[in-house]
Amino acid sequence: MAEYNTMELMICVASRELEDGASVGVGTGAPCAAVMLAQKTAAPNLLIMFEAGGVSPILPEMPISVGDSRTTWKAIMASGMCEIMETACRGMLDYTFLGGAQIDMYGNLNSTRIGADHQKPKVRLPGSGGANDFGSFAWRMMVMTPQDSKRFVEKCSYVTTPGWISGGDSRTRSGLAPGAGPYKIITNMAVMDFEPSSKRMRIVSINPGYVEKDVHDNCGFELLRAQKISETRAPSDEELRILREEVDPYRYIIGR
């Protein structure tokens, strides 16, 4: 088995979640690498949508922005942001990848501010962009993020993108589509999903090189445990070859 770094592991794990024929709303960076890898391996008919309007491209190489011309390479449509968001609103987006500075036990995300005072926060973050739209309307939201207790917090300073809100049926009661919401959280240490009843984050697998205590110690709230916790499958030689030679040969992402 070839050696790999943390970013390569996270990208490979995320790519395996995307089945052939699914639709996914994606931005740039590691999520884009994951969908490219999926398209070149087990999901050749993956329908990729970019926030700026590219629909179902065959990505020749890593785009540097959601409006990069490569996001419409051999695409079925070069549309705009309104068309993409309307497609999500109609329930036609199976997956999306999002991130933020904070995430809580229900998968709520903060990419707006750190600190209680909205006018004078400790840190001003870039805000929602299209994250709230994608997170509100995609059927399954996934997050790829490093894990530490400052990022995984008991309560977000600000909820930019709703997850399972306060757990249970609170998301449905808010008016969002029943059944849609956070799906998997993929970190450098583990993979988490959400317990079906309480909607609280729980550990489902531990990444190679870590133990369960590492995951708990680097989380600011109590994580639930799946009935059976497995070891995350390491990247295969073929996955790494495609990732390094075809997806990100200049190591823009995997070189971090």
Residues tagged active-site: 51
**From CA 67, how far away is CA 69, in angstroms rounded?**
6
Q: What is the DSSP string of the chain?
A: -----HHHHHHHHHHTT--TT-EEEE-SSHHHHHHHHHHTTT-TT-EEEETTSEES---SS--SSTT-GGGGTT-SEE--HHHHHHHHHTT---EEEE--SEE-TT--EE-SEESS-SSS-SEE----TTHHHHHHHSSEEEEE----TTTB-SS-SS-SB-SSTTSTTHHHHTTSPTT-EEEEEE-SSEEEEE-TTT--EEEEEE-TT--HHHHHHT-SSPPEEEEEEEEPPPPPHHHHHHIIIII-TT-TTTT-
Alpha carbon 225 to its chain centroid, in Å, reads 21
Q: Could you give the C-alpha distances from 240 to 1, 32, 58, 66, 194, in angstroms and in order?
A: 10, 16, 20, 24, 29
**From CA 168, how far away is CA 110, in angstroms rounded?**
20
